[in-house]
Structure 1
Amino acid sequence: MSRLQVVSGKGGTGKTTVAAALALALATAGKRTLLVEVEGRQGIAQLFETQALPYEERKIAVASGGGEVYALAIDPELALLDYLQMFYKLGGAGRALKKLGAIDFATTIAPGLRDVLLTGKACEAVRRKDKSGRFVYDHVVMDAPPTGRVTRFLNVNDEVAGLARIGPIHNQAQAVMRVLKSEQTAVHLVTLLEEMPVQETADGIAELRAAKLPVGRIIVNMVRPEVLDEDGLELARTVTRSSVARSLSAAGLGGARRGGHAERLVEPLLRQAEEYAERYALEREQRAVLGELDLPLHELPLLAEGIDLAGLYQLANELRKQGIA
């Protein structure tokens, strides 16, 4: 299992929820994971029902078996101060630069610098060891930008390493890419069983592979339960109005006479069955498309009551059962 787990997906697919559930799943049996947020939305804090995350690693949950989940919301400005201190030992001068607005200036004239800082901070957490030589975190899970931007986001250090031929910036960019393009990293894509998210997933996988970034798994989120099997779908397509009305009447839902209660229920029931059959066919088509991408495929259920802390633990347990952690 790769140590850096990057989670991306089209907006609205629930990638932050999946990233949080994955961090919980990976922390099973006493392990420690770090869940990293790079988009500044504080989505992790909302999911774990805690206060807004500061720019520091903070424990936010205990997983099954006593493992721990830490979280970090990376602030690009503060990450740049860390960077300046690490390589140039600026100390108080770095804080003065922040007050003068130099950091805003730097990230404005060099937009890629922001992504370098974000990915660099996550990779530093992957490589970090304690005094005994053990990794501080068994796994780092990154809630990454959406599918359409994730390849450029992860690959920006290659561009920076090419621009800065020598010096600490070049060395840092190369160190980050050694992590991101190695077996230590896996980029997972979250999708729904709908045409647009599936197509964006396929395009994203092609882009990641072209950039030689390691693609991990496809996680289909919010999968609705199957109400009818194939026999039931065939019956729904061929059943007559009168037979449905008689069945409703036999179930005690009113007389089958014209205009009776059972008769009024027939049309909505047949319409629901038709809509379900159409959705089932669409989902089957999208599963087939995903199956052609030649990657491990996992499915997470739609939680009828919505996502809360208990729901996160439920999804984490589902991921463990499917062998993803």
Structure 2
Amino acid sequence: MHVVSGKGGTGKTTVAAALALALAAEGGRTLLIEVEGRQGIAELFGIAALPYQERRIASVSAAQLGLPTDGVTGSGNGGSGGEVFALAIDTEQALLEYLDMFYKLGRAGKALQKVGFVDFATTIAPGVRDVLLTGKACEAARRKGPDGRRAYDAIVMDAPPTGRLTRFLNVNSEVAGLARFGPIHSQAQAVMRVLRSPETAVHLVTLLEEMPVQETVDGFADLREAQLPFGGVLVNMVRPPVLDAAAVAAVDGDHREEVATALGEAGLGGRARTGTAVRAAVEPLIDPLLEQAREHAERVELEREQRADLQQLRLPTYELPLLSEGVDLGGLYRLAGELKRQGAA
């Protein structure tokens, strides 16, 4: 099970979806789970809102991700590609399912729903909501099909933001301590066995900016304290280099003459023939270009510092490019290919 989190605005839902595609590319079955009720998965894949039901949303192969296909052998269908299923967990439906599973309430559970008990329980006690969400994800991870094999080769959870991630994942540990026997205690212990097992990995998504990087560093510290298993750092929206290192180092100097000459040689002087006329034609471009170069140099230095902070975590780090045209379905497959090539899947 892959738990994907990150500071708001870092693109964690996009990265979680790309990871699910990458994991399925060699013939596996992957379940992509959403727990925040935003229907972000449906929006990314351009489909109708997801019901509280596991639904196939994509088929994917190595070739679709731009990867070599020679010798690819899938675990599910001989290397011809795999499938991604999705589930948007509805808290109310999950509680009814839980009550029926452990207390055999059946129609009585529906009656509780009608009088508003379900909504009351999940609102007045937020911990109950987190127990249901993590419990449903772990049930999918443990579930086996008629052939005795696991129903899914991988589970990817689009988890809450980093700020509340550790409490979200660790809530069953608290519940197991409060309810020391009975089905609630057993269920909570079973969930924590999955979440703390070597087969679970928590990945954090970040940008190369100060606040997201600091939250990522703090997030891994919290996970370590809670004894939850680490995965990797997923750096999203990485900008391509525009200037080489020498140009970045030189932007603080006085280079107006060199810039004017280069612009003239590039033909930006228009129809001007003489050196004076060319200089006059390109003059309005010089200061804006130098200002952009300085801004780019500042950005490069900031990213260098943030990469250094992330390297101190000593965790696998994967970088995904900024898609200037936005993330459509094609872009999502491109990101999945990047994750696969870098070994994240």
Superposition TM-score, scaled by structure 2 size: 0.91
Deviation per residue, 1:81-132 (Å, 9 max, x gap): 1101111111111111101111112223322010000000000000000111
- 171, 177, 185: which is aligned to 1:156? 171
Name the structure 1 match of 2:289: 269
Q: How much does 1:239 deviate?
A: 5.0
Q: 3-state SS of the aligned residue for 1:158?
A: helix
State the alpha-carbon separation in 1 of the partners of residues 248 and 94 from structure 2.
Answer: 55
Name the structure 2 match of 1:300: 320
Name the structure 1 match of 2:310: 290
- 26, 37, 40: which is aligned to 2:23? 26
Name the structure 2 match of 1:44: 41
Q: 3-state SS of the aligned residue for 1:59?
A: strand
State the alpha-carbon separation in 2 of the partners of residues 269 and 257 from structure 1.
Answer: 20
Matched, 1:73 2:84: no
- 2, 6, 17: which is aligned to 2:3? 6
Q: 3-state SS of the aligned residue for 2:251?
A: helix
Name the structure 2 match of 1:138: 153
Q: Which amino acid aligns with 1:198?
A: V
Within a 5 Å distance, the mapping from 1:1-325 to structure 2 comes to 4-64=1-61, 65-238=80-253, 240-254=255-269, 255=272, 257=276, 260-325=280-345
Q: How much does 1:301 deviate?
A: 0.2
Q: Which amino acid aligns with 1:121?
A: K
Q: Which amino acid aligns with 2:163?
A: G
Flag as ranges the 4+ runs of structure 1 deviating above 4 A: none
Q: How much does 1:238 deviate?
A: 3.1
Kept in 2, the 8 Å contact 1:257–1:263? The answer is no
Moved more, 240-249 or 309-318: 240-249
Deviation per residue, 1:191-212 (Å, 9 max, x gap): 0000000000001000010000
Q: 3-state SS of the aligned residue for 2:252?
A: helix
Gaps of at least 5 residues in structure 2 are 62-79
Kept in 2, the 8 Å contact 1:34–1:137? The answer is yes
Moved more, 196-205 or 243-252: 243-252
Q: 3-state SS of the aligned residue for 1:238?
A: coil
Query: Identical aligned pairs, as a percentage?
Result: 69
Q: How much does 1:234 deviate?
A: 2.5
Moved more, 239-248 or 190-199: 239-248
State the alpha-carbon separation in 1 of the partners of residues 310 and 276 from structure 2.
Answer: 48
- The count of residues paired between Structure 1 and Structure 2 equals 322
Kept in 1, the 8 Å contact 2:249–2:297? The answer is no
Name the structure 1 match of 2:67: none
User: What is the RMSD of the two structures over their aligned residues, measured on CA atoms?
Assistant: 1.1
State the alpha-carbon separation in 1 of the partners of residues 89 and 129 from structure 2.
Answer: 11
Superposition TM-score, scaled by structure 1 size: 0.97
State the alpha-carbon separation in 2 of the partners of residues 108 and 279 from structure 1.
Answer: 43
Gaps of at least 5 residues in structure 1 are none
Q: Which amino acid aligns with 1:9?
A: G
Deviation per residue, 1:236-272 (Å, 9 max, x gap): 3335212211211121111553772211111111001
Kept in 2, the 8 Å contact 1:144–1:150? The answer is yes
State the alpha-carbon separation in 2 of the partners of residues 199 and 109 from structure 1.
Answer: 32
